[in-house]
Amino acid sequence: MNYYYLTCRSLTYAQRVSGALRTAGIRNMVVRTPQKVSRDGCGYAVRIPGDSLGMALGALASANLPPKKVLVIRRDGSTEEVSY
Amino acid sequence: MIYLDSAATTVQKPKAVREAVYAAVSNLGSPGRGGHRYAMAAAETAYLCRERAAKLFNVRDAERIIFTMNATHALNIAIGSLVHEGSRVVVSGYEHNSVMRPLRAAGARVYVARSPLFEGEVAASVFEDLLRKPADACVVNHVSNVFGSIMPLERIAAICRERGVPLIIDASQSAGTIPIDNEALGAAFIAMPGHKGLYGPQGTGILIANHSAEPLMQGGSGSNSRSPLMPDFLPDRLEAGTHNMPGIAGLSQGIAYVLRHGEGNILSHERALISEMAESLRRLPGVKVYRAADTAQQAGVLSFEVEGRDAEEVGEELSNLGFALRAGLHCAPLAHETAGTIERGTIRASVSAFNTQAEIRSFIRAMERVTRVAK
């Protein structure tokens, strides 16, 4: 299964994103952003299952909490930034 | 010992505060410094505390809740962000050294809006006059730590909004007892301790940052670590270094206590105690009590003097009798200058949600003894 990482500017922002997604009924987890996709150094992201992206982006737009970036991490370990 | 020094720090805390501090020492890591269980438990604890504070003070988003060491730390960040050499700053006549010293160090031109004790209407009009000229900042002590007098915060905030003057609120004595609506006030910064009316442990404070702010310290923030500069976003910009997690865990429980009991109820309780204390002290020979005629102008702090007695000596005598009060200038010489008590100082009694009527009556009996000796 693929996962999407919604990268965030800070841990606290990631926690706000996580709360908004939870309110919208979307399973998620605050995690460290993998170094291979982070150009800024240490940071946090919210990980969501591959089938939740559309709903998650809608919920975050409603809450005015846009993620910094959206990345897909595939089962084979490859990553790619997703434009949204 | 009966504790009547809650304006300095509250010693009686909710049980949940003590338990949270104790548990945090063994169970919490450092928020923002890892993805393991201990770090994430700390992150959740810190975030819950921010959310509770945001709810209590009606702050739109929890990122504006900045953890500090105390109110002084928070005020230094606020003043350092707005005030520079030559800045014109208007302050109330009841400011603490935690405001006056940073202003002095910054080289500000300070204009004091002096007003008589417990005269909110007069205070508002003096601020209005002084803010007719442009100012770089206005600082208001919401409740005097010496006299418990309440400043007309909403009126002063409205004047500042109208004139475009950034407002810094020192909520050291009001946070947790008088409702503060951050969004309605529109202040640039609100600074408060965590260890007084919010019932957290010492070493905690909060800055509500609605204005761009300059960090007092630089260092690790757990974010943007490749950059040599502090992040430009909150709260990370103002929170360099490892957080005081036992303190924050306790503070979170303290705020939960205030949310559960309600600031209005806590204030009513404190006012009832202060009112009884003032009325009883007033009847004692040679005791001068600084009490508002209109009880709505005073919070849970009461200053008094004993004629012919040094304030510190009376404080020491009361301590020997089992009562903890604070005497002297209370780190607020400006407040004493404004009220005309700078030469003598005062003895200050201050209460919290945990004080009882029986304690106040016991204190009055002790004061009867002190004043008999004085005669």
The answer to whether B62 contacts A12, with C-beta atoms less than 8 Å apart, is yes
Which positions in chain B touch A12 (Cβ < 8 Å)? 46-47, 50, 62-63, 234-236
Distance CA B205, CA B172 (A): 9
Please report the pLDDT score of residue A2 as a whole number: 86
- Chain B: closest CA distance from residue A74 (Å): 20
- Chain B: closest CA distance from residue A53 (Å): 22
Distance CA A50, CA A69 (A): 15
Q: How big is the CA angle at B103 (ends B116 and B156), to the nearest 5 degrees?
A: 45
Instruction: Give percent above pLDDT 90 in chain A.
Output: 69
The answer to whether B34 contacts A11, with C-beta atoms less than 8 Å apart, is no
The answer to whether B233 contacts A13, with C-beta atoms less than 8 Å apart, is yes
Q: Which residues of chain B have pLDDT under 70?
A: 373-375
Distance CA B368, CA A16 (A): 56
Please report the pLDDT score of residue B234 as a whole number: 97
Nearest to A15 among B47, B222, B231 (CB): B47
Model confidence at A76, pLDDT cuts 50, 70, 90, reads: confident
Smallest CA-to-CA distance from B291 within B304, B272, B273, B280 is with B304
Please report the pLDDT score of residue A83 as a whole number: 85
Which positions in chain A touch B61 (Cβ < 8 Å)? 16
Distance CA B180, CA B174 (A): 8
Instruction: Give one DSSP letter per residue of B42-59, joined into a string.
Output: HHHHHHHHHHHHHHHTT-
Say what the pTM is. 0.95
* 3-state percent breakdown (helix, strand, coil) of chain A, nearest 5: 35, 30, 35
Strand partners, A79: A73
Please report the pLDDT score of residue A22 as a whole number: 97
Mutate to test the interface with B, among A11, A28, A46, A47 (most CBs of B within 10 A): A11
Q: Which residue has the higher pLDDT, A40 or A14?
A: A14
What is the DSSP-derived secondary structure letter of residue B194? S
Which positions in chain B touch A32 (Cβ < 8 Å)? 34-35
Which positions in chain B touch A7 (Cβ < 8 Å)? none
Please report the pLDDT score of residue B375 as a whole number: 54
- Chain A: closest CA distance from residue B228 (Å): 11
The answer to whether B63 contacts A12, with C-beta atoms less than 8 Å apart, is yes
For chain B, positions 13-72, list CB contacts with chain A under 8 A. Answer: 31-32, 34-35, 40, 43-44, 46-47, 50, 61-63
Mutate to test the interface with B, among A12, A13, A60, A64 (most CBs of B within 10 A): A12
Please report the pLDDT score of residue B359 as a whole number: 98
Please report the pLDDT score of residue B374 as a whole number: 56
Smallest CA-to-CA distance from B235 within A16, A57, A69 is with A16
Q: In which residue are the tokens 């004595």 written? A: B173
Q: Is residue A5 less than 8 Å (CB to CB) from chain B?
A: no
Please report the pLDDT score of residue A34 as a whole number: 85
For chain B, positions 339-358, list CB contacts with chain A under 8 A. Answer: none
The answer to whether A42 contacts B223, with C-beta atoms less than 8 Å apart, is yes
Please report the pLDDT score of residue B259 as a whole number: 98
Burial status of residue B147 (CB atoms within 10 A of its CB: 0-12, 13-18, 19 or more): buried
Residue B256 makes CB contacts below 8 A (sequence gap 6+) with B16, B52
Q: Which residue has the higher pLDDT, B81 or A1?
A: B81
**In this complex, how many residue pairs, one in chain A and one in chain B, have their CB atoms less than 8 Å apart?**
60
Q: Per-residue pLDDT averaged across A37-46, rounded? A: 85
Q: In which residue are the tokens 């299952």 written? A: A49
Q: What is the mean pLDDT of chain A?
A: 92
Closest-CA residue of A relative to B48 is A15
Which positions in chain A touch B223 (Cβ < 8 Å)? 9-11, 40-44
Which positions in chain B touch A15 (Cβ < 8 Å)? 43-44, 47, 62
Distance CA B291, CA A48 (A): 59
For chain B, positions 175-214, list CB contacts with chain A under 8 A. Answer: none
